[in-house]
Amino acid sequence: LGRPEFVADRLEGCEPADLASLLRAKARKGSTTGGSVITALGICPASGSGSGAPSRAWLFYLEDCVKDAAPAVIAEVARSGPVYMLTGDSHANAMDVAARIGTAQFEAVHSDLRPEEKLAKVREFDGALKEEAGRDSW
């Protein structure tokens, strides 16, 4: 189980002989849709198992959907101050979602972040807001 290229590499040499190539081709074709994740599962019977069973591979396409109300909700929040997107998704997926919501609503889009990086960003923004609030209260 893993990314299609990872699974295809492990299916090399399994029967049918073109299974790895077919898996790569199907994954490339499906990777053109924004906001999607493609993962694969492959099974290659152990050699000498006597089963004669062919190898098998499956592709799973998972796609995030932006709720219909999201653009209006984010626009409302943005009227009160800057909105930042912090996500672990790829930059391409993050930008696709931002475009669906309205990129003008976001001060910035930060992608490919690990959980600890998201926390660091939140702390950074929190510190900046506290500093700004302190200056404005004089």
pLDDT given at position 56: 83
pLDDT given at position 34: 56
Residue that has been written with the tokens 């600890």 in this structure: 116
φ, ψ for residue 60 (rounded to 5)? -120, 125
| pLDDT tens per residue across all 138 residues of the chain | 777 888 888 888 887 878 888 888 887 776 655 556 678 888 887 665 556 677 888 877 776 688 899 999 999 999 998 999 999 988 988 998 999 999 999 999 999 999 999 999 999 999 998 988 887 655
Cβ proximity of 42 and 57 under 8 Å: yes
For 41, the 3-state DSSP assignment is strand
pLDDT given at position 15: 79
From residue 57, give the alpha-carbon distance in Å to each of 1, 62, 94: 10, 16, 29
Residue that has been written with the tokens 């506290």 in this structure: 130
From residue 137, give the alpha-carbon distance in Å to each of 47, 81, 82, 130: 74, 17, 19, 11
